[in-house]
Structure 1
């Protein structure tokens, strides 16, 4: 299993529109092969900073979803609402 950390920063006054569209992204990800679970968090010091932590069966499963036309189309709606580029970090257990 891997974890994917996705960070986004929403432009001022677009929070409601962002929430609606980001919910669609998560709903579609849930249906993607290899998706295990996920949660979205809000930075307590910056409410426009959103962090999604998703668990995927493998990096191959994540990459298939990340590159999919479905995700690209959904992200095309979200990207204009962000004032910074999305940051993605793929994490795996260290073996310690």
Structure 2
């Protein structure tokens, strides 16, 4: 299993519109092969900084979703609401 950390920063006044569309992205990811679970959190010091932590069966499954036409189309709605590029970090359990 891997975890994918997705950080996004929402432009001022677009929080509600972002939330609505971000839910659509997560709903679609849930049905993607290899998706296990996910949650979205808000930074307690910056309410426009959102972090999604998603668990995927493998990096191959994540890559398939990340590069899918479906995700690209959904992101076309989200990207204009962000004032920075999203940052994605793929995490795996260390051997220690």
Q: Paired residue for 2:34?
A: 34
How many residues were matched structurally?
96
Normalising by structure 2, we get a TM-score of 1.00
Pairing 1:36-51 to 2, within 5 Å after superposition: 36-51=36-51
User: Structure 2: 5+ residue runs without aligned partners?
Assistant: none
How far apart in 1 are the matches of 2:54 and 2:78? 18
For 1:81, the equivalent position in structure 2 comes to: 81
RMSD between superposed Cα atoms in Å: 0.2
| 2: CA distance, partners of 1:79 / 1:29 | 17
- Counterpart in the other structure of 1:16: 16
Equivalent residue of 2:26, what SS? helix
Q: Distance in 2 between matches of 1:42 and 1:48?
A: 7
CA distance in 1, matches of 2:81, 2:37: 25
- The secondary structure found in structure 2 opposite 1:11 is coil
| TM-score, normalised by the number of residues in structure 1 | 1.00
Shift of the alpha carbon at 1:95?
1.1
Unaligned runs of 5+ in 1: none
